Structures are given as C-alpha cells and as structure tokens.
Amino acid sequence: MHIDTKLPRVGTTIFTVMSQLAMEHQAVNLGQGFPDFPVPDLLVESLDRAMRAGHNQYAPMTGIPALRSAIANKTERVYGWRPDADREVTVTSGATEAIFDAIHAVVRAGEEVIVLDPCYDCYEPAIDLAGARAVHVPLDPRTFAPDWNLVRAAITPRTRMLMINSPHNPSGAMLSQADMAEVANILRDTEIVLLSDEVYEHIVFDGARHESVLRYPELRERAFVISSFGKTYHCTGWKIGYCIAPPALSAEFRKVHQYNTFCSFAPAQHAFAEMIERDPAHYDTLGAFYEAKRDHFAAQLRETRLVPLPVPGGYFQLVDYSAVSDLDDLAFCRWLTTEHGVAAIPLSPFYETPPPGQRLARLCFAKNQATLDAAIDRLRKL
C-alpha cells in the first residue's frame, strides 16, 4: 500500500533519537528535558489518595472543578487577574496537546501561522496537519531576541496566528515588558490570534518577572495561554497541562480537545489541585531552585572548552562548542554522545533554516548534582 504522508518532513524527533543513542552508549543524558530527581512528596501522596479514593474514571472534559479553580486562584495570585474557572480554563494531556488543540481550533487550511525560530518541534507539524503554513521568522542567532519589524513584515492577509514562547526553549531567552507592548501594537486592529507557550513560567532567574500574556488585558483577550504541570512539578511523564483563553476561544478549543483526548489523567488532576492550594511555596521558589543549578553548572562548564551562553529562564543551557569541533551540530551531538558519553541536543532541528556556521548545542541542567558532575567529568576531557 502506498501512503502519501501528511507530514513528509517529519521523522523521529531529535529528542527520541538522542535519548536512544544515550541509552545505547551509556551516556549521561543531558539531552531530553526531563528532571531525574523526585516529584514533591505531597504530590505523590495526593495522587495515591486520589487513586485509593476511587478517582480513576473519566474526568470532566474541561478538567475537574477543583483543579480549574486552583488554576484560577494561582493565576490571580501570580498575575493579578482571575480567569473564569468554568469558561476560560481547560485541563489537557500536557502542553503539547494544548498547542495542537489551539492551532486546530482557529487555524484553517490555507492560512498562515508565524513562529519564531528556533522554535519547539511540535509547532510546525500541528500547523501542517491543519492544512496551514508555518511562516518562520528568525530570532537573533546569539541573544534569541525577536526583531519585531521582521514579524510585522511577515504578516499577510492570510496570517491567522502568532506563536510566542517565553521563557524560550531552547535558549532560555525571555520576552520583556517592551516586547509585550510590541506584540500588542502588532496585533491591534487585526483578527490574528496569539498563542503563548509559557510552560517554563515559574523558572525565571536573576530577579526577573515572567511577562505572561495574562498580565496584559489587550493580549489575553485574543490569546491561548498554555502551561504545563510537568515542568513546574518535575513530573513530565504525567502529561498534564492547561490552557487559559477567553470564553469564545475556549469554546472552540474545547471542541477539538473533546475529540482529541476528551479528558486527562483523573487522579493526577486531584493531586495537582491539592498541591497548588496547599503548597504555593513550591512554584514561588522554583526559580531560585533552578537558578542555583544553572549557576553551578555554568561555573563547571567554564572548566571545559565549551562556552555557556546566558540563561535568563528555563532549564536548558546552550553551549558554543566551536573551540572543540567544526562539525555541524547534528554530527557534533552524535560524536559527543558516542565518543565522550554525554548526550546533548543540536539546535538545527528547531529551525527551518539554521544560521550558517552556528555551533551551539543544548544541555539540560534539570538533573541531580551527581548527574551533572558525571557529565562535567566527561566534558573536561574534550
């Protein structure tokens, strides 16, 4: 049978490829972005209680009321605005599902979605499956700051959505208050919908403030804002996220969600509702927790020939490896894994057109100190 693929440019994701290679070569895996330390005890205990209490059947399509209320409470506490828990908050099976649902809720065949390169690899396939076209606008290749004039120039009558991501994966760069003003200026008097990927919202450093779209009335009135409990609570395998959007957008979002996953892992929803309400200190101190890891890891990297770039947020460290090798990033990361026992992620899969001569790789520092120490011992030998 001949299959005319709907995703001709898509193969196995680079994260799966590098993790498999790491396993085959017993490499320290700093590639795929998952913590290797435990989730909070309270969360595990809450999950156990929920399962033993019988919360093991379908959850409501939009998410259990207690979790949606907890998300609304947290949003008001952190960003100074409270969404309507019933009409504006939807629980999903991870942020990736939420991104897919948001795109398919409003983007039609033949329309365009602007993405800022480098961007996370799930964006474009979701756009392609909607029959739309991703329009790639490059960020600065060293600072990863947007050039809003390039974004303006990319807008056409077919533009339906602009996607932004802060803190940014893979670079950790963050959008500022001035950036949010630029986004508002660009989108004002248009029908363009904003999708804001904010899964690292609580992992920000150096006293900075996360400039969530939810802080800005003009923006949140046209936006899907997406976050992930997996990133905040160290449990990426639980795959629970959520989307906050105004009622009209949420209604369309839920039409897709109900025929995609319908609902998400019910016991975990009960656990997260309890965790959010009982332990707000967890997300309040998450930035400081990861900032200490960032600083220690960057200091260790300076003992190697890899050059760490600044990391304003998130839990990834970009390194310039040009002093070590002239290989392209795919070849370098494969060589680093197979010959030196440390798995990293190349940047080129995050781009439509990678900058020529770029020699950057992404390392994840959301790891136990013993894991990072083991990686550094190997990297010192480069």
My answer on whether 226 and 366 are in the same domain is: no
Predicted local confidence at residue 209, as pLDDT: 98
My answer on whether 101 and 241 are in the same domain is: yes
Identify the CATH number of the domain in which residue 343 sits.
Answer: 3.90.1150.10
Residue 122 sits in which domain range?
A: 41-279
Predicted local confidence at residue 21, as pLDDT: 87
Predicted local confidence at residue 33, as pLDDT: 87
Identify the CATH number of the domain in which residue 195 sits.
Answer: 3.40.640.10
- The answer to whether the beta carbons of residues 266 and 339 sit under 8 Å apart is no
Domain finish residue from 247, 279, 311 = 279
Taking the alpha carbons at both ends of the chain, their separation in whole angstroms is 48
- Separation of CA 361 from chain center: 17
My answer on whether 29 and 62 are in the same domain is: no
My answer on whether 204 and 288 are in the same domain is: no
Nearest residue to 105 via CA among 227, 240, 2, 257: 257
How many structural domains are present in the chain? Answer: 2
Residue 367 located in a structural domain: yes
My answer on whether 295 and 309 are in the same domain is: yes
My answer on whether 212 and 118 are in the same domain is: yes
What is the chain's pLDDT, residue by residue, as a tens digit (382 residues)? 999 999 988 888 888 888 898 889 999 999 988 899 999 999 999 999 999 999 999 999 999 999 999 999 999 999 999 999 999 999 999 999 999 999 999 999 999 999 999 999 999 999 999 999 999 999 999 999 999 999 999 999 999 999 999 999 999 999 999 999 999 999 999 999 999 999 999 999 999 999 999 999 999 999 999 999 999 999 999 999 999 999 999 999 999 999 999 999 999 999 999 999 999 999 999 999 999 999 999 999 999 999 999 999 999 999 999 999 999 999 999 999 999 999 999 999 999 999 999 999 999 999 999 999 999 999 999 9
Long-range interactions of 51-60: CB distance < 8 A, separation 24+:
51/267, 53/270, 55/266, 55/267, 55/269, 55/270, 56/266, 56/267, 57/266, 58/262, 58/263, 58/266, 59/91, 59/263, 59/264, 59/265, 59/266, 59/269, 60/263
Is this prediction's pTM over 0.85? Answer: yes
